[in-house]
Amino acid sequence: MRKHQGSNRRLKAGLVAAAGAAMIAVPAPAPAVAAPTALAAACDEAQIPAAILLNKTIPLVSDECDLRGKVVRAGVIGAAVPQKGEVVTAHALYVEGVKTGPDMPDSVSVRVDKGAVTVEVRHEGSVARGDGQPSGVSPGRSSGTKNNGSAQATAATPECSQNAYSLMGRYNGYHKWYFKSDTVPAYFGGANLAETDILSASYNIDVGMNDCGLTQTMGTDFEYAGYTLDYPDITSTPACDGARSNKNEVAFGPIDNTNILAVTCGWSYSWPGDDPIQEADILFANRPNQFFYFLPSGCNQRYELQGVATHEFGHAFGLDHVSESSYPALTMSTNATSCSYRDSSLGLGDYNGLRAIYGS
Contacts with Zn ion by CB under 5 A lie at 91, 93
Query: How far apart are CB 298 and Zn ion at their closest, in Å?
Result: 27
Cβ of residue 44: shortest distance to Zn ion, in angstroms? 32
CB of 315 to Zn ion, least distance (A): 5
Q: Given the DSSP bridges, would you call strands 239-240 and 222-227 parallel, antiparallel or unpaired? A: unpaired
- Shortest distance (Å) from residue 219 CB to Zn ion: 22
Give CA–CA dist 95/198, Å, rounded. 19
Closest CB to Zn ion among residues 94, 213: 94
Residue 223 CB, nearest approach to Zn ion (Å): 23
CA distance 183 to 230: 11
Nearer CB in complex with Zn ion: 124/137: 124
Determine how β-strand 248-253 pairs with β-strand 166-167: unpaired
Contact 89, 100 (CB under 8 A): no
Q: Which is nearer to Zn ion, 286 or 331 (CB)?
A: 331
Cα gap 141→135, rounded to integer Å = 12
Question: What residue number has its CB nearest to Zn ion?
Answer: 91
Q: How far apart are alpha carbons 106 and 166 in whole angstroms?
A: 13
Minimum CB separation from Zn ion for residue 311, in Å? 5
Report the nearest approach of Zn ion to the CB of residue 149 (Å).
33
284, containing H or E segment:
strand 277-285
CB 255 within 8 A of CB 247: no
- Strand-pairing partners, residue 252, are 284
Instruction: Tell me whether residue 91 or residue 342 sits nearer to Zn ion (CB atom).
Output: 91
Taking the complex as a whole, the smallest distance from the CB of residue 94 to Zn ion amounts, in Å, to: 9
CA distances from 348 to 229, 302, 312 (A): 36, 24, 17
Nearer to Zn ion, 91 or 111 (CB): 91
Closer residue to Zn ion, CB minimum distance, 91 or 180: 91
Whose CA is closest to 227, among 198, 200, 201, 187? 198
64: left (phi over 0), alpha (psi -120 to 50) or beta: alpha
215 or 338, CB closer to Zn ion? 338
Select 93 or 104, whichever has its Cβ closest to Zn ion.
Answer: 93
Q: Which is nearer to Zn ion, 88 or 117 (CB)?
A: 88
Q: Is the alpha carbon torsion for 234, 240, 245, 249 positive or negative?
A: positive
In the three-class reduction of DSSP (H, G, I as helix; E, B as strand; rest coil), residue 143 is classed as coil
For 46-101, the DSSP string reads SEEEGGGTTT--EESB-SS-B-TTPEEEETTEEEE---TTEEEEEEEEEPTTPPPB
- Give least dist CB 321 to Zn ion, A: 5
